[in-house]
Structure 1
Amino acid sequence: MSHFLEGGDVHPGFSCVITPVDGATVLSLSGELDIATAAECGRGLAEAVASSEPARVVVDMKGVEFCDSSGLSVLISALTGAEASGGVLVLCELHPRIRRVLTLTGLSRRFRTYDTVPEAIAALPRPITS
């Protein structure tokens, strides 16, 4: 069951939708990820990371064609938070411009990226059950 994130700073043209899929949390982003939307995206990322223990988060960026340093900052923060709790956060469906930004900034070495949501989910480590 998907849900849109609600917040006081909702910006037209930007959306965060969280969907549980096969034991993972998929956060689908759409719109520009910039200084105007970074706080809203950060809330969505925090909710996605906190939704399972350990975090198993796929950030679907299919609808994002622009990302500035504020957007990169919230993605890095979410990745760091997921890893600190023993979880994982990956990116998928990157627009060529976003992929280029990650490469130019060296963040392509920090983020695992995949072509599709199913491919990303399949690559996530399975949680250890006792």
Structure 2
Amino acid sequence: MKKVLVIEDDKMIKTILNHLLGKEGYLIDFAMDGEEGARKLLHTDPDVVITDIQLPHVSGMTLVTLSKKLNPNRPVFVVSSLGSETEIVEEALAQGANEVLTKPIAFEDIAAKIRNVLLLEAV
């Protein structure tokens, strides 16, 4: 069973992702801030990471860098409420994010994106 680490401080998004990804059969772990997210990245080795950009204590951008440093092949999705501001998107992609998703999130697309990236990884 593939493990997904969701680092998100919005409880509503957490609840929706838990339901949606759980239905897809993923084992989901959550971190409510960047510090907890960094700790879980270091100790749980998830298969996929979904992180918000704006988090308390440690930024999502720092978490993208840490995740890729620990496992360069791990897919990382970044969620941003900052819209499609070019510099945010470019920085996230430069740090190794697979994709930047803007809020409001099309939740149904997230499961498909994770499934696709994991299928590509298996090939």
Normalising by structure 1, report the TM-score: 0.47
Larger helix percent = 2
Structure 2 length-normalised TM: 0.49
Structure with more strand by fraction: 1
